[in-house]
Structures are given as C-alpha cells and as structure tokens.
Amino acid sequence: MNAELHSFQEAIGYNFREPELLLRALTHRSHFHEHNAASDVPGGHNERLEFLGDAVLGLIASEYLLECFPAESEGFLSKRKAYLVSAAHLSEAARGLGLGEHLRLSKGEEMSGGRGKRALLANTLEALIAAIHQDGGMEAARRFVVDRILKPLNSEQAEEPPTAHNFKGALQELAQSLKLPAPKYVLVGEQGPEHSKHFVVEARINPELAARAEGPSKKSAGQNAAQSLLQRLSQNRPQVRM
C-alpha cells in the first residue's frame, strides 16, 4: 500500500489488517469497469460494501442518538437520524477526511468532477464504514462512525432540526462544476432583541456573485443565502464567467 493510503488510515484513525478491503471501498465501479476487472482492482468495486455500510451506519447512528437524547421523542430522534445518514452530512464528513483525494475513478468520472460529487462521496464513506466493519468488527466501525462522523456535529446542528435541503452543499457542487471559487459565508448583521435575534449572512463566490439572506440562526441564514445564490447561478448559468 502506498504512502498516501498509509496517511489516509492515520486520518481515519484505523489501520486495515486486510488492505484489499480499503482499496475496494475506494474503488468506484467506473474505475473497475475501465480497467476491465484488472489485477489492480482486488475484490471489485465498492457497491456491495455501500449496501452493508448503510445498514451499519443506521444502527450506530440510532444508538448514538438514544444515548445523547434520552428524554426526546421518536420524532425528534428520527429527524436527526435522517440528517446524520443523509448524503449532505456524509459528503461533508467525507470532505473533512480528505476522502475524495483517494477515490479510484475512471478518467471520465475524474474529468466530470467525481472527486467532489456529493452522492459519490457519501456512498464511498458508507463503503468505508462497511470495510472497517468487515476488517475489525462492529466496535471498530462504531469508533470510526462516532469519532469521525457523529461527534463532529456542532451544537447548533444538535439543538436545531436540520434543514430539509442542503443548499450550501448544492451551491458548492455547482460552483465546482463551473470551475468557480468555493462559496464563502460572511455574517454581515444581527437584528432584533437578544431573545429573538435574526442573523444576516452573505453567500459569496466573487464580487459579482453574492446574495444575502436572514434567518433565526447563522446556519439557517447561511442556507437561505446559499439557496438564493444557487437559484441565481442556475438561472444565469450560460452567462457565468469562468
């Protein structure tokens, strides 16, 4: 296994006894088929691992939420679990681990921005969870999921029901596909009394591509600003300066 994958194992906090499982988890089916099931793709691609990883993640997330919120209702827990296992959250966690840098993709998938695609990152993270489970058992998988996917959830996300749509993630993907800078979010104002504040956030790609919006929290204001800029960018896509 090369030095990059050794450093990746340090980043995820788990060293594989069977490195082939890690390679399989990182192998997209496009890479597997492009190489015609060649010897450099041991064990095939990662879709079967995704299937297992989804189930393992769901169980661990459910147990984690029951421990963190012992007095909350099933509806409360269900909403937070839906967020924790969503492509939006998993892709953000994958980016934090640098997972995209280690994906094994076909040339075509690479050229189309596959390393930054939300669904692809989320699916690969699920495959990685399954690979750890198969290599080290349930406790190893639980440590990885809790430490690298669930615990990084910030206090605002824990207290406030997650938004149904991750407009920030969608805006980032569209900007990347258009070869534009990554969006930045700036708090530009606060309004109202202390017990009922409204925040104003600006989503900005460049001086010509920016939008402001408000919300009852910084997170919701950022999502609203991202939604506004996403709509503008999508409508004017052919005129965007590259």
Query: Per the structure block, which two tokens stand in for 159?
Result: 């207290």
Residue 206 CA to residue 222 CA, distance in Å, equals: 16
Helix, strand or coil for residue 106?
coil
C-beta neighbour count of 174 within 10 angstroms: 18
126 is catalytic: yes
Q: Which residue among the candidates 50, 109, 126, 173 is catalytic per the annotation?
A: 126
Q: Which residue among the candidates 18, 20, 34, 54 is catalytic per the annotation?
A: 54
Residue 23 CA to residue 62 CA, distance in Å, equals: 28
Q: For residue 14, count CB atoms less than 10 angstroms from its CB and return exposed for 0-12, middle for 13-18, buried for 19 or more.
A: buried
135 is catalytic: no
Query: Is the separation of the CB atoms in 24 and 131 below 8 Å?
Result: yes
H-type alpha helices, the chain: 3-12, 19-25, 29-34, 47-68, 74-84, 87-97, 107-111, 118-136, 138-145, 155-159, 167-177, 218-235
Residue 67 CA to residue 70 CA, distance in Å, equals: 6
Query: Cα–chain-centroid distance for residue 18?
Result: 26
Query: Per the structure block, which two tokens stand in for 4?
Result: 């990059």
Q: Could you list the active site residues?
A: 54, 126
